[in-house]
Amino acid sequence: MSPGYPVETIIEGKASLLVPRLDPGAEEHIQKQRSQAPVFYNTVMKTNRDTAVLVLRAYQSKKSRNVQVCEPMTGSGVRGIRLILETDKIDDIVLGDLSPSALALARENAKLNGVRDRIKFRELDANLLMALHSYPFGRFDYIDVDPYGSPTPYYDTAIRATKNHGIVAITATDMPPLCGVNARACIRKYGGRPLQGEFCHETALRLLVSSFIRQSAIHGYASTPLFTYYADHYVRAYFRVDKGARRIEGLLNQFGFIKYCPSCLHRFPSVENAPERCGCGEEMNIGGPLWLGELSHDEFLGVMIKEIGNASHLVGTKSETIMNLAKGEIGFPVAFFDFDKICKLVGVKSVSTEDAFSAIKDAGFNAVPTHYRSRALKTNASIEDLVEVFNGFKNIG
């Protein structure tokens, strides 16, 4: 088949795919080329799709029956095709897209991978497609919402089209509002105020999670975050949706605010948003309301990591690194610290990550690296404790 534009064959996971060929000579314009391509395919999002494979594998490992899957914004079909090839026990998979060119390429890719008969293609608006499946025997076990920008316009129908105890995955690529560059847009879309500063990617994740939990509550569902992360300028969250008012209350009780002083880096979670002056005299910034609970589910993430053993092509991938780091972060207080920010505050030259971890641990605190970035940590030490530890580096060298 010739789609009428240049294509190339690539391999991702266990799939061989035809995707629009971008001009490799124009590396600096690659993003513009990608956004103007007749069908969307972004190789960077492989990590996102790798995690989808592992979430679905972990979900299936607890099921004795086949599962139904929907990807209402499929683009080239890469994600849906990979889910068929790299997981077991998929009964039905419905792939949709509003773009006829995307669906034509997705169909071609399905043929290329020998899975054409296992997919129903729908040229429909994502909300309409999911609404058409919002009845007792039409719902899915797993829905993957992967739009341009914010996923919030798709929450309602995704929740309604998911089975009780099923999974909804959402990606948000609109990082500027979520990280506080446009706070009003964030409040409009996600219902909470973002925080600028070194841990903005964590607050972005917490705002994404809280917006989905709140919208699920309206439909009588408790959406528990199973695995969430930030990478490559997007945030991603996987939820299990369970019916039940008591469970919803349990989740809503974990909402609150983060108060942060950009001057001395002091931060703490708070149940109220009353203005507050920091001990250093500065007015504290307030983010939220947002999710203050765990960002990943220890047991479920453990099963995902174990599943890499049954999906050996994912060993050593970025998704594995992110999952291991995210698992280590469970149980630590909200808002990670940035080594370089602390060095600057204390007035010491850059300290190696290794030395910083040893010094913090020697002082009696717990500390772990984060998945958000390499020179950052989660710890039970306060900023005052960290300042004291980092002051110790002043006398060295």
Ligand X SMILES: C[S@@+](CC[C@H](N)C(=O)[O-])C[C@H]1O[C@@H](n2cnc3c(N)ncnc32)[C@H](O)[C@@H]1O
Q: Which residues bind Zn ion (CB under 5 A)?
A: 261, 263-264, 266, 278, 280, 282
Query: Which residue from 18, 20, 22, 40 is in contact with ligand X, where contact means CB under 6 A?
Result: 40
By CB under 6 A, is residue 49 in contact with ligand X?
A: yes
**Closest distance to ligand X from the beta carbon of 134 (Å):** 16
Q: Would you list the DSSP string of 184-247?
A: HHHHHHHSSB---STTHHHHHHHHHHHHHHHHHHHTTEEEEEEEEEEETTEEEEEEEEEE-HHH
Q: Show contacts with ligand X in window 73-112 (CB under 6 A).
A: 73-76, 78-79, 96-99, 102
Query: Which residue from 147, 191, 220, 269 is in contact with ligand X, where contact means CB under 6 A?
Result: 147
Answer positive or negative: Cα dihedral of 174, 257, 154, 168.
positive
**Tokens 């999670």 sit on residue:** 209
Pairing of strands 67-71, 140-145: parallel
**Tokens linked to 35:** 């956004």
**Closest distance to ligand X from the beta carbon of 179 (Å):** 19
From the list Zn ion, ligand X, none, which binds 263 (C-beta under 5 to 8 Å, kind-based)? Zn ion
- Residue of minimal CB distance from ligand X? 73
Stretch 325-344: interaction string toward ligand X, x if CB under 6 A:
--------------------
By CB under 6 A, is residue 174 in contact with ligand X?
A: no
**Closest distance to ligand X from the beta carbon of 389 (Å):** 43
Omega before residue 289 within 30° of 0, cis: yes
Nearest to 260 by CA among 179, 185, 195, 340: 195
Closest to Zn ion by CB, 127 vs 270, is 270
Residue 36 makes CB contacts below 8 A (sequence gap 6+) with none
- For the chain, how many helices (H) and strands (E)? 15, 15
| 3-state secondary structure (DSSP) of residue 317 | coil
From the list Zn ion, ligand X, none, which binds 125 (C-beta under 5 to 8 Å, kind-based)? ligand X
Closest to ligand X by CB, 102 vs 186, is 102
Answer positive or negative: Cα dihedral of 67, 318, 152, 243.
positive
From the list Zn ion, ligand X, none, which binds 98 (C-beta under 5 to 8 Å, kind-based)? ligand X
178, containing H or E segment: helix 175-178
Closest to ligand X by CB, 229 vs 336, is 229
| Chain residues that interact with ligand X, rule: CB under 6 A | 40-41, 45, 49, 72-76, 78-79, 96-99, 102, 125-126, 146-148
